[in-house]
Structure 1
């Protein structure tokens, strides 16, 4: 368990853990209580596809609060005290509207760089956080695959850079990056160090010398770690100031997206980054659409971080990035007796990027009357994997989707332009 203290929040690799790992050369990463950032780099900096940024909204995001089906009267009937009034919605749609707390993202919505897809989800309902997230990240139901789909994507694109595998303070990083392709998990670029390494005690240099002439498996492991540390050191030395007046919020999500933007702009061949944001499990006191209420403030923090990220990248940088949000499940259509929402099924995804054909909500709306629901939940009409598959093919130059999402056909929503 993470105590949240400063020592636990530092991203370090201990000598004892490294030596104990032997040939596996396990890196150790540390995640904050609600946030973990992992990065997979391409060996070839000439990778010309988009950087796919996967933002996992853990806990069960309520897409019906964020992207409100105001044109469906059943929405207001089901949520008498927590529905977002039509007069407060932004985004100007005839049927859907955005929660007012998402106002920082409105410029990207109106300029066509932000879109939503509604009634998306997994092939079958699963209301267990752990089981649903495991299936969401494995993304291969009915198969024997146990790797994460983002790792399979990186592998299909040839990722083999020394930024390999880090999971400090947790047994392992998110399942979505589990697999043979290299990846790195960390909470901060600036805090990624070897414990005790300094000018007086050059631990990294000593380790590199120790493994010279070692068998290839051992030498490669040590080389990967020292290479990753050297890259992080160079980034620290260069420092970083967000561009274009971007002001990231002082949240774990803001800090993580700031570091992702920093890596994207180094031109190091970043293929994909995944960021987790938690505290979306609102069984009680979700609240009306007012500042100081739980859902409003959580959405406001999300919007502030995403807007800063897009501002920092600027138009040219955003043209090389597609960010997608996912969550393990949505919430029930009807509010419960505690003014919150229990675990549900169908959900909404946001897609942000220079290649997005935004300013609208995509997907087939199933309706919210009792006969249209799936056991009281918003029905799923579009597989989340099909949406991501469309992005992978059009923006990330993934030619064959089968190794990433077995048995899935990419959607044809027209959500993004082809690179």
Structure 2
């Protein structure tokens, strides 16, 4: 038998350290201290965040098609909502903004007022570096590069639990995203089928099978982890015992055969397995459209089709049983220039837009503020101005959906001002 100290100093800490940020996970530390732990299978709210890496062109995703200045700035990229026999028109949302036709999967949710859009969203820091802008957005501190934690990790710490399950915060990525760095437990799972858990700074601990957890548990002193500790092991073993490989999405949902589609399908599986997941993270790549961006077809159209089709497959898959408890929010580090460049693309800009899906969302609206895209209204004379700080939107979603109200911890040195993306 291993002593409690031996358990924490040897295999126990190493195994549970794989993919779990911040040292000893809360559910292990508290079990070892024989404190009461909340059962991990309680159904709760789940926030799913999708980071569109590369900077999405918000002006093409949701186009102010009545803006003559944009039409002049993009002679080869501008799209209209006018219907003719020879074009692929935008989906007219409200007489001013049009949704890219490749995102037609979003239209029913917008009409049902379950999908909201925020335009002019971005960071107050005007960097146009992908690395820096992503870092600032994920840390939630746009003027402090030294912040050790990510805003989603801080959100986990504010959830109000005495302890967390192994799957409270899950990233369906091969490496831990900056958003999950910090003192609170989080896990990166690149593939549920392989149960590949990875941790920043601990590459030797990858690809551990559930059998290892079982063997470790069998070697520990009886009662060390108590009943709820055993449930945490059971939750880990569920991934091995579930028929993940042959998973059939519910309600006829069909996921795109893409990285994002696969990630969201696995998030849906975890939600329906009731393992206590409350924050999930996925990535969508390829948004840096400097060249041959395309209009109704091309790189951008393929990307937005994948985003919208993946999100709607996920929403269909979880069904009405879970939809009241799930909100999906996208984010991207910045937008693109108002003017197209000489290679049929757009360069690094400032503001973009994001999408928020959920039954509690104040949907059917394009939130935010956007002036006519005349030169005098552009940031630095070239970009869509940031009129909504991303922290206002992120904090409102966290407050209204996850019931987190301590904005001073979630976003230090910032006073959040809700913009109404959630219903009152």
State TM-score, norm by structure 1: 0.81
2:255 paired with 1:248: yes
2:210 paired with 1:205: no
Please name the residue that 1:8 is paired with. none
Please name the residue that 2:410 is paired with. 404
Please name the residue that 1:10 is paired with. none
In the superposition, relative to structure 1, how do residues 318 and 225 fare at CA in structure 2: closer, same or farther (>3 Å)? closer
- Using the alignment, how far apart are the partners of 2:329 and 2:356 within structure 1? 5
Q: For the Cα contact (< 8 Å) 2:53–2:332, is it kept in 1?
A: yes
SS of residue in 2 equivalent to 1:323: strand
CA distances 1:82-116 after superposition (whole Å, capped 9, x unpaired) = 11123211143111110000011111111111111
- Using the alignment, how far apart are the partners of 2:71 and 2:280 within structure 1? 37
Match of 2:188 among 177, 181, 185: 185
- 1:401 Cα offset (Å): 1.6
- Using the alignment, how far apart are the partners of 2:349 and 2:97 within structure 1? 20
SS of residue in 2 equivalent to 1:265: helix
Q: For the Cα contact (< 8 Å) 2:169–2:278, is it kept in 1?
A: no
- 1:412 Cα offset (Å): 3.1
Match of 2:311 among 306, 314, 326: 306
Q: For the Cα contact (< 8 Å) 1:47–1:271, is it kept in 2?
A: no
Match of 2:18 among 27, 30, 34: 27
Please name the residue that 1:95 is paired with. 96
SS of residue in 1 equivalent to 2:356: strand
2:161 paired with 1:161: no
2:286 paired with 1:282: no
Match of 1:151 among 153, 170, 187: 153
- 1:184 Cα offset (Å): 1.1
- Using the alignment, how far apart are the partners of 2:265 and 2:49 within structure 1? 14
Q: For the Cα contact (< 8 Å) 1:162–1:223, is it kept in 2?
A: no
Please name the residue that 1:332 is paired with. 337
SS of residue in 1 equivalent to 2:153: helix
- 1:240 Cα offset (Å): 3.0
- 1:288 Cα offset (Å): 2.0
SS of residue in 2 equivalent to 1:296: helix
Please name the residue that 1:9 is paired with. none
Please name the residue that 1:229 is paired with. 236
Q: Which runs of 5+ in 2 are unaligned?
A: 1-8, 21-26, 28-36, 83-88, 197-205
CA distances 1:263-298 after superposition (whole Å, capped 9, x unpaired) = 1222332211010110011110001223xx111111
Q: For the Cα contact (< 8 Å) 2:170–2:279, is it kept in 1?
A: no
- Using the alignment, how far apart are the partners of 1:166 and 1:303 within structure 2? 21
- Using the alignment, how far apart are the partners of 2:173 and 2:356 within structure 1? 31
Provide the aligned C-alpha RMSD in A. 3.2
SS of residue in 2 equivalent to 1:275: strand
- Using the alignment, how far apart are the partners of 2:383 and 2:371 within structure 1? 11
In the superposition, relative to structure 1, how do residues 213 and 269 fare at CA in structure 2: closer, same or farther (>3 Å)? closer
Equivalenced residue count is: 379
In the superposition, relative to structure 1, how do residues 22 and 416 fare at CA in structure 2: closer, same or farther (>3 Å)? closer
Please name the residue that 1:137 is paired with. 138
2:260 paired with 1:261: no
